[in-house]
């Protein structure tokens, strides 16, 4: 500091030199602050790899796949019974005795008043979409079905949706017939 004062005392433009020295000191302080700030600041790290699925999650997803397959098969069997007018088979699939319905009445409730004349022509059993609730006690199965209202009518398509329920995980799925 003595050197600076000595230099300034012999200089003609003291104010200019003071301003210049302040500028340099400010620059050095900012440079040091930047350096220490970048060294001690939060470090960028790569995100942690996803944790492997737990055994419980794997069991849950396997159970969902298993129940989806069961419901897909059940939906396909119901559609086959409707397409072939096999009402005794339909009664067995939907537990009609408990519902106090005949197979023909169940068919009308499932696909409408023209169930006895509707000709179900085609559906893709592999395309049956099943959705289950979180506790695996309610489910919906949906599939696109091609049908005719009579032999002479043109082919139409509709999305057939069936709702299923069960009281607990050990019970069999029951079709909801409204």
Which tens digits make up the pLDDT trace of 95-128? 766 778 888 999 999 998 988 889 999 999 999 9
> Residue-wise over 29-48: b if at least 16 C-beta within 10 A, else e?
eeeeeeeeeeeeeeeeeeee
3-state SS of the chain is CHHHHHHHHCCCCHHHHHHHHHHHHHHHHHHHHHHHHHHHCCCCCCCCCCCCCCHHHHHHHHHHHHHHHHHHHHHHHHHHHHHCCCHHHHHHHHCHHHHCCCHHHHHHHHHCCCCCCCEEEEECHHHCEEEECCCCCEEEEEEEEEEECCCCCCCEEEEEEEEEECCCCCCCCEECCC
What's residue 178's pLDDT?
Answer: 80
Which tens digits make up the pLDDT trace of 41-55? 555 566 666 666 666
Q: What pairs with residue 64 in β-bridges?
A: none
Q: Which range has the worst mean pLDDT, 1-5, 19-23, 143-147?
A: 1-5
The domains found in the chain, sorted by start residue, are 58-175 (3.10.450)
Q: What percent of the chain stands above pLDDT 90?
A: 45
Helix axes 103-111, 87-94, angle to 10 degrees: 80
pTM of the model: 0.66
């Amino acid at each position: 500091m003595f050197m600076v004062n000595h230099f300034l005392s012999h200089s003609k433009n003291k104010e200019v030199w003071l301003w210049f020295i302040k500028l340099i000191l400010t620059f050095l302080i900012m440079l040091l602050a930047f350096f220490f700030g970048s060294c001690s600041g939060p470090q960028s790290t790569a995100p942690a790899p996803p944790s492997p699925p737990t055994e419980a999650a794997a069991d849950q997803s396997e159970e969902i796949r298993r129940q989806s397959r069961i419901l897909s098969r059940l939906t396909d069997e119901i559609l086959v019974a409707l397409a072939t007018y096999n009402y005794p088979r339909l009664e067995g699939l939907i537990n009609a005795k408990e519902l106090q319905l005949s197979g023909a009445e169940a068919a009308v409730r499932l696909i409408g008043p023209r169930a006895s004349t509707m000709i179900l022509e085609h559906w893709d059993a592999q395309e049956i979409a099943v959705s289950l609730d979180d506790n695996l006690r309610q489910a919906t199965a949906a599939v696109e079905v091609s049908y005719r209202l009579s032999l002479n009518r043109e082919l139409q398509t509709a999305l057939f949706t069936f709702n299923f329920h069960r009281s607990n995980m050990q019970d069999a799925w029951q079709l909801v017939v409204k």
